[in-house]
């Protein structure tokens, strides 16, 4: 059976499973649509949370970024994993004890203001749409290669799939679909990692293989060999970082703090029966997430070794099949700058922008690109980093069923997070804007219809952002974390741990933090990308890490405004106490 046939079978079976679960668990009430009825077991919720969390950025893009950033890529591992510890300790149990459906619901009630609720919805929509752009881009890349369609058409197909089970099933359908998706994506990530680790080091456990010697007779360790090969091609050592200490700190902190402010992750803790289950869910999620995150550095290193050996100084006429497969989808390209027909990899970009093929072929048989070459460097190979994990099994010449499994896993990772984000957006519109703010007398049936209409509109916007993304998948997702850290996290944190924070302070803080961070990111990524260099950054902090400064601005503005305005009502102090004090503590103290 051909690899392409296996891909069709694996993808079709996994989709049939997801859609079947969505139909089986169709939401019949707003509580089932928003929080799956509130009765999900902590282990099940931990697995669903892991799937929700391990998006296209984790599955598809993170190892690709690490493969090309080397040591600098560790910020994604540290930030995203550490964020879950912050979430489990500081926020999850308290928010679950509060017992509302959504983050804006908490903020609107805690800060006794529909204006605060509306500002939280705006923050949430900014965060969610930034995040979902990366997911839809990931879906498009997977479909483009494995179903042999354009990235744009791949995004549209993904939109149709997500529409079906997110709009139909709500949180109840998404929860059980995500459990299935976690099983698919973790199996799809680990199996090729075991194979490739065995091929390169003779050790089947990738985490151990990363610290082993390569079995080519050289006696060199994996990272030692990678350092040597990259330096021979003109790159810096893989194990050395080029980022400044402050930028590494800020990116890691923004990812970590942003995790604790991500609405689609927080809402998962409203689906368990009680507050203690929320903490257990976070613990289980960390276990399930660690399986992939401890494997990613090994996958990145192995992928870079295989890529270098497969492409560098190889005549295009002898290019491996995987190279021409991905080339057909405009995700890899070769521009023969010195007319020798041999592909050279070096530091720097080979030409301006993503490849635009002319439809003609050069003397070596290579597809010609119309892009202007960058003459300052000898690099002749363009690579979209987001393909590295997906191409890894092909580069390593693994069996067709492994390649098909990775295709299904990549789709599971992207679709699971996209569905969770769409639900958060639709809930914010139907529950927080309509039901709680502008139309309190709306019927449950009308609210459910509004949620589904909002989810449909969100899918269309998400598709457009997926077709025209502002960066690599993992970078786009990092921006969402920065926005979350700068806007929602301080309001949630102060709402739980301070009785004195009032509505004026919280609103001012959220607006200032979001505005500063969004404008900074948009300036360097959308309006003036040529200026996106360390010399132009504020304090040397990149757009990926600026959310930390936005967070500090949020806290500073909120506290300053609070001191100049009226204290919150007495009942708010009682509300904060009821969230933080364990049930039965007052009785025990009285005795």
Split the chain (591 residues) into runs of 10 and give each run's mean pLDDT: 82 79 61 53 81 73 84 83 76 73 80 87 79 75 75 82 65 71 84 90 90 86 89 85 87 84 70 73 84 89 89 88 82 86 87 81 83 83 83 85 83 72 76 73 78 80 75 62 86 89 93 91 80 84 90 95 91 83 46 40
Token pair recorded at residue 358: 């002319």
How do the domains of the chain map onto residue ranges? Answer: 3-303+397-580
Say how many residues make up the chain: 591
What is the distance between the alpha carbons of residues 423 and 264, in angstroms, rounded to a whole number? 8
What is the distance between the alpha carbons of residues 196 and 194, in angstroms, rounded to a whole number? 6
Secondary structure tally for the chain: helices H, strands E: 25, 6
- Phi and psi (nearest 5°) for 364? -85, 0
Token pair recorded at residue 361: 């072929």
> In a 3-state reduction of DSSP, which class is residue 308?
helix
Class of the CATH-defined domain 3-303+397-580: mainly alpha
What is the distance between the alpha carbons of residues 120 and 188, in angstroms, rounded to a whole number? 37
DSSP string, 414-455: HHHHHHHHHHHHHHIIIIIIIIIII-TT--HHHHHHHHHHHH
Residue 113 CB coordination number (10 Å): 19
What is the distance between the alpha carbons of residues 63 and 307, in angstroms, rounded to a whole number? 13
Token pair recorded at residue 338: 């010195």
Is residue 16 within a helix (H) or strand (E), and if so which, with residue range? helix 3-24
- Phi and psi (nearest 5°) for 382? -100, 135
| pLDDT in the model for residue 165 | 62
Closest-CA residue to 483 (of 556, 549, 400): 549
Find out whether 39 and 29 touch, Cβ atoms under 8 Å. no
| pLDDT in the model for residue 158 | 79
DSSP 351: B
Find out whether 138 and 413 touch, Cβ atoms under 8 Å. yes
Is residue 343 within a helix (H) or strand (E), and if so which, with residue range? strand 342-343
What is the distance between the alpha carbons of residues 43 and 56, in angstroms, rounded to a whole number? 23
| pLDDT in the model for residue 263 | 67
């Amino acid at each position: 059976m051909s690899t392409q046939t296996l891909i069709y079978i694996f993808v079709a079976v996994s989709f049939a499973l997801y859609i079947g679960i969505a139909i089986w668990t169709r939401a019949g009430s707003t509580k089932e649509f928003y929080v799956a009825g509130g009765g999900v077991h902590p282990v099940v919720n931990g697995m669903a949370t892991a799937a929700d969390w391990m998006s296209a950025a984790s599955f598809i893009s993170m190892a690709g970024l690490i493969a090309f950033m080397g040591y600098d890529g560790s910020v994604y591992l540290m930030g995203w994993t550490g964020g879950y510890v912050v979430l489990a300790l500081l926020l999850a149990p308290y928010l679950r004890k509060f017992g509302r459906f959504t983050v804006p619901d908490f903020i609107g009630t805690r800060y006794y203001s529909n204006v605060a609720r509306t500002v939280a919805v705006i923050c949430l929509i900014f965060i969610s749409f930034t995040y979902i752009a990366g997911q839809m881009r990931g879906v498009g890349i997977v479909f483009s290669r494995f179903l042999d369609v354009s990235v744009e058409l791949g995004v549209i197909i993904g939109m149709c799939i997500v529409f079906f089970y997110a709009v139909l099933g709500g949180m109840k359908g998404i929860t059980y679909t995500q459990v299935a998706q976690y099983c698919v994506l973790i199996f799809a990530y680990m199996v090729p990692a075991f194979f490739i680790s065995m091929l390169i080091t003779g050790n089947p456990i990738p985490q151990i293989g990363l610290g082993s010697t390569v079995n080519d007779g050289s006696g060199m360790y994996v990272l030692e060999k990678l350092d040597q090969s990259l330096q021979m091609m003109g790159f810096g050592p893989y194990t050395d970082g080029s980022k400044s200490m402050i930028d590494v700190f800020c990116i890691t902190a923004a990812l970590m703090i942003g995790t604790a402010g991500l609405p689609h992750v927080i809402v998962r803790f409203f689906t368990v029966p009680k507050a203690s289950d929320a903490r257990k869910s976070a613990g289980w999620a960390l276990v399930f997430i660690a399986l992939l995150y401890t494997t990613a550095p090994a996958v990145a290193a192995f992928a870079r070794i295989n890529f270098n050996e497969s492409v560098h100084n190889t005549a295009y006429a002898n290019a491996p099949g995987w190279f021409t497969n991905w080339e057909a989808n405009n995700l890899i390209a070769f521009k023969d700058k010195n007319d020798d027909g041999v592909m050279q990899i070096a530091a720097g970009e080979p030409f301006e922008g993503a490849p635009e093929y002319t439809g003609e072929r050069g003397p070596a048989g290579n597809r010609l690109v119309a892009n202007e070459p960058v003459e300052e460097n000898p690099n002749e190979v363009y690579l979209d980093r987001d393909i590295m994990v997906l191409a890894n099994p092909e580069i390593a010449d693994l069996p067709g069923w492994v390649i098909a499994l990775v295709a299904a896993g990549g789709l599971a990772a992207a679709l699971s997070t996209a569905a969770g984000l769409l639900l958060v957006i639709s809930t914010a519109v139907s529950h927080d804007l309509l039901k709680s703010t502008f139309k309190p007398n709306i019927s449950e049936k009308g609210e459910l219809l509004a949620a589904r209409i909002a989810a449909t509109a969100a899918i269309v916007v998400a598709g457009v952002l997926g077709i025209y993304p502002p960066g690599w998948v993992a970078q786009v997702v990092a921006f969402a974390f920065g926005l979350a850290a700068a806007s929602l996290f301080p309001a949630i944190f102060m709402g739980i741990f301070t009785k004195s924070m009032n509505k004026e302070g919280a609103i001012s803080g959220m607006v200032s933090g979001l505005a500063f961070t969004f404008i900074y990111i948009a300036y360097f990524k959308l309006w003036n990308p040529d200026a996106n260099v360390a010399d132009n950054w504020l304090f040397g902090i990149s757009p990926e890490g600026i959310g930390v400064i936005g967070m500090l601005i949020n806290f500073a503005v909120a506290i300053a405004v609070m001191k100049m305005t009226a204290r919150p009502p007495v009942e708010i102090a009682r509300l904060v106490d009821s969230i933080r004090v364990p049930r039965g503590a007052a009785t025990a103290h009285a005795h």
